[in-house]
């Protein structure tokens, strides 16, 4: 999208920004925009790193208590799944086809 903007288009954008914000406010806006982009980039890198290796200790924010709670919840989930499976006696009680 922005790759199609030529030098004339960039110059026009800069002139409009100068008119709207003034020469004193423009550097502040540029710094704020740069910080925002940097934080976004770091956040996405962290999310991608966590997705690639969810059990990684280095740089991970999960604590031992979080891991223990996750293990307990997963155990409860498997118990519920085991209860949902029909037993052999339940198959016998079904009506014939």
Rounded distance between C-alpha atoms, residue 89 and residue 93, angstroms? 7
pLDDT score for 48 = 83
HEC assignment per residue over 40-82? HHHHHHHHHHHHHCCCCCCCCCCCHHHHHHHHHHHHHHHHHHH
pLDDT above 80 for 93: no
Q: What is the pLDDT of residue 87?
A: 57
In a domain, 73, yes or no: no
The model carries a pTM of: 0.40
> What mean pLDDT is predicted for residues 56-72?
69
Write down the pLDDT at residue 62: 64
Question: Is residue 87 one of the residues assigned to a domain?
Answer: no
SS3 state at 28? helix
pLDDT score at 96: 59
How much is the pLDDT for 55?
Answer: 57
Overall domain count for the chain: 1
Residue 21 located in a structural domain: yes
Average pLDDT of the segment spanning 28-34? 91
Q: Assess contact for 32 and 24: CB atoms under 8 A.
A: no
User: Can you tell me the distance from the alpha carbon of 78 to that of 84, in angstroms, rounded to the nearest whole number?
Assistant: 10
Domain range for 14 is 8-55
42 pLDDT tier (thresholds 50, 70, 90): very high
């Amino acid at each position: 999208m922005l790759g199609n903007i030529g030098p004339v288009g960039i110059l026009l954008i800069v002139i409009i920004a100068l008119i709207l914000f003034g020469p004193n406010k423009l550097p502040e806006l540029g710094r704020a925009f740069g910080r925002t982009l940097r934080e976004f980039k770091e956040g996405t890198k962290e999310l991608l790193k966590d997705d690639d290796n969810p059990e990684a200790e280095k740089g991970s924010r999960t604590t031992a208590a979080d891991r223990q709670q996750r293990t307990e919840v997963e155990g409860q989930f498997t118990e519920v799944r085991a209860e949902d499976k029909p037993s052999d006696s339940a198959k016998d009680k079904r009506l014939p086809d």
